[in-house]
Amino acid sequence: RGYDVKRSDFPPQFLFGAATSAYQIEGGFNEDGKGFSNWDAFCRINGIWIGSIKDGKSGDVADDHYHRYMEDIEIMQSVGITVYRFSISWSRVLPRGTLGGVNKAGIAFYNKIIDNLLLKGIEPFVTIHHNEYPDEFDDRFLGDELLHFAETCFEHFGDRVKYWITINEPVLTSYMSYELGLYSPARCSPPFGHCTHGNSDVEPLLTTHNKIVAHAKASKLYRDKFKATSNVNGMLGICDNSMMYVPSRNTEDDKEAARRAMAFGIGWVMDAVIFGDYPPEMKRILGDQMPTFSSEEKILLEDSIDFIGVNHYSTLFAKDCIRSNCSETSNRPIRGFVETSGENSNGVLIGERTGMLNFFVVPSGMEHFLNYVADRYRNKPIIVTENGVYSYYATNKQHDPANDVKRVRYHQSYLAHVARAMRNGADVRGYMVWSLMDNFEWDLGYRIKFGLYRVESGTLNRIPKLAALWYRDFL
């Protein structure tokens, strides 16, 4: 079934790594001058309609990476990864954003991580904005704030960091924050949810637009001011959550729906940062609702990335809602009049269930997705910046690090299809497992576990799962 995959199936220079983000693993939420972040505040809200975080916990301590970073770098070395993707905590480096100065202790912390990674032969791969920002400002108006943060990161770390992501998952985070209200700042409207403020049909469009423009400004700054003077020949990209969509029924309507779903998915951001404008499929559906770029912004946006970052986990069926009955939330312009599901109209599942809604194991979807991206975007270099599966066993065996066979099979099969896409001609340069270790999974808290390493409750000891041992042997 495509599980026979070897390191030799990939070129010697191919990057194999693991990924995390600051709020999800660091802890140390109020130490050494760190400011209060949007998620520090969000996890303390009582009585908002979603009932706050599912397990009532927060990232105050998380995996305590802030104090255990050397131990974590050593486990990376023991696995044998050659690249580590992590994010810079905005509120640790700039506690008050543009309203205050740089926190030297925050800069020192990330300098220690970068320097020790390089000493161990691991390439640092830095995400600038990963869902966390100082609580004093509102990311609906993200713009100069992100440019200031990006410049601070480039200035202090750009001499050693070769790979940069400006923003992680701009579309998904806008959906979660401003359509569904599940992420900070919890804004939404019916039928998507019942928040106290927000407009689910409009705000995701505006917030994603502002992030894309902010990315373009940061990219120009990096290329004009920092890349030329750096000795690391840096590369800058952006990444988004990257589902593959296939027709639910063998009809022209559903084939067109799958094309729309891809445009409203990976196309939303990547068309903008490569071609300089939104996908025509989106503009046809949304019309005047779709924000527009000025001519100056289009120039900034076009080819503003050196690589495409893809966070790919799963594949779904797409059903047309223009000529078929659909749910109220799907039958809307913001969703492209597409209903997505893991089950088609004949009751056939697209792949193995994981227990999480709309997350099915479909290894071939990785290959089809990479082929799609290579075709649509003129074979621009691709890096798989996240791919993983969470523990989804029916019993408490999910807490047994040895009982990790499904995670191993997931990575084996998805990697086999990465190799196949490369043989088809896709220019894939790297692959990162989400995640290095179990962590705080945003609104879901600690209940779902994606890590190669288990983090023991209480002691926070790192225990390798079978997948960590497999990855080590594979590498």
- Record the tokens describing residue 306, joined without a space: 């050196």
Of 359, 328, 329, which Cα lies nearest the Cα of 343? 359
Positive or negative: CA dihedral 62, 36, 222, 116: negative
Positive or negative: CA dihedral 230, 233, 237, 242: negative
| Furthest-apart CA atoms within the chain: distance in Å | 59
Residue type, position 302, single letter: E
Burial class of residue 278 (count of CB atoms within 10 Å of its CB; 0-12, 13-18, 19+): buried
Q: How far apart are CA 51 and CA 1, in angstroms?
A: 42
- Record the tokens describing residue 2, joined without a space: 């495509």
Beta bridge partners of 238: 308
Query: DSSP characters for 4-15?
Result: ---GGGS-TT-E
Burial class of residue 283 (count of CB atoms within 10 Å of its CB; 0-12, 13-18, 19+): middle
Set 281, 339, 367, 386: catalytic member:
386
* Catalytic residue list contains 145: no
Of 452, 456, 444, 387, which Cα lies nearest the Cα of 63? 456
Contact by Cβ (8 Å): 451, 437: yes
Q: How far apart are CA 71 and CA 301, in angstroms?
A: 40
* Catalytic residue list contains 297: no
Query: DSSP characters for 323-390?
Result: SS---TTTSSGGGTTEEEESB-TTS-BSSEE-SSTT-EE-HHHHHHHHHHHHHHTTT--EEEEEE---
Set 169, 281, 367, 441: catalytic member:
169
Burial letters for 336-353: b for 16+ Cβ neighbours within 10 Å, e otherwise?
bbbbbbbebeeeeebbee
Angle between helices 466-474 and 65-79 (to 10 degrees): 50
Q: Which residues contact 47 (CB under 8 A, 6 or more apart)?
A: none
Q: How far apart are CA 273 and CA 309, in angstroms?
A: 12
Contact by Cβ (8 Å): 72, 461: no
Catalytic residues: 169, 386
